[in-house]
Chain A
Amino acid sequence: MIWFLRGLRRGVVTTRYPAHADPWAEALPTPPSFDPQKLTFELAERLAAACPAGALRRDGPDLVLDLAGCTGCGRCCEVGGEAVAASGSFELATHDRGSLLKRIPIGADRD
């Protein structure tokens, strides 16, 4: 009986997901987000060189982020300064492998 009451006092400790994401979910190691206006070609090259997983590469006017390869190590955030930060997005499952390739326009918005 005493264990039952103790359990009640603690309340529900199970995650509410998928009804709500957990408050700490944003702190998970997640792929980076970029500020296209602060990106330069030079910085893009340095980001691509810094990525140990090879998930970042420069392709013409775009920086290509392969979410499938990103390990969430955060080295691009160290190199990129204000232009790069962790996205906090973990809900990346998809039926379409191609949608995991993200193109980030370098310099300015084109859309």
Chain B
Amino acid sequence: MTEQQQVEAELHERAVALFRRSLHIRTFDSGSCAVCESEIRLLSSPYYDLHRLGFFFTPAPRHADLLLVSGVAVRAADHALRKTFDAMPEPRIVVAVGACALGSVFTEDELVHGSVDAVLPVDVYVPGCPPSPLALLHGLLVAVGRLEEKVQAFRFDLRERNPA
């Protein structure tokens, strides 16, 4: 890692730390089956209540710190997705939600890019089909640095439980 990259990484980390207890989220559906949206909507229900964590949904990308993208990144949404991303103020975080957005369900063809990676710089990947609201909460908390990633330590071995 060069010195410039180091400085950039540190700057990004410090900027993201500002979001820890106040984060505004803009959701973007780039061609999903709407089940991810259904789970995202549940986050603002009284049970999951993401406002208690200082997270809020905003209808305008200009007010958003984090872009929650679901779906396969259909080419028809390219323009809207690019404009949404460009309208967001720096620093901004992109979170890819669901198996489609991670690029494991549909391959690239003339209709879809196949993954959000191909269009935007993704910071956090949230797998699941759909990811449950708890998985989404974990993803958001990882994105702002309030929780550690756990999946590296998971071995998916039946004889030992994945460390919680």
Contact = CB atoms under 8 A, between A and B. Distances in A.
Interface of A: 13-15, 17-18, 21-22, 25, 28, 31-37, 53-55, 65-72, 83-85, 87-97, 99-100, 102, 104
A71 to B, nearest CB: 4
Nearest to B139: A93
A98 to B, nearest CB: 10
Contacts of B156: 31-34, 65, 87, 89, 102, 104
Interface string B111-133: 00000010000111111110110
Contact of B151 (A14, A33, A69, A99): A99
Contacts of B88: none
Task: Determine chain A's interface SS by DSSP, over half rule.
Answer: loop
Interface of B: 46-49, 52, 99, 102-105, 117, 122-129, 131-132, 134-135, 137-139, 141-143, 146-147, 149-152, 154-159, 161-162, 164
B124 A15 contact: no
Contacts of B142: 93-95
Nearest 9 interchain pairs by C-beta = A69-B104, A93-B139, A71-B129, A68-B102, A35-B158, A89-B162, A68-B104, A91-B138, A90-B135
Contacts of A25: 132, 134
Given A33-B156, A95-B142, A14 B162 contact: no
B13 to A, nearest CB: 11
B127 A13 contact: no
B104 A54 contact: yes
B5 to A, nearest CB: 15
Nearest to A65: B156
Contact of A95 (B123, B146, B154): B123
Contacts of A88: 161-162
Contacts of A99: 149, 151-152
Contact of A15 (B117, B134, B155): B134
A31 B104 CA distance: 14
29 contacts: A13-B47, A15-B49, A17-B48, A22-B134, A25-B134, A53-B105, A66-B104, A68-B125, A68-B127, A69-B104, A69-B105, A70-B99, A70-B127, A70-B129, A90-B131, A91-B150, A92-B127, A92-B150, A92-B154, A93-B124, A93-B138, A93-B149, A95-B123, A95-B125, A95-B149, A96-B152, A99-B149, A99-B151, A104-B156
Contacts of A33: 156-158, 162
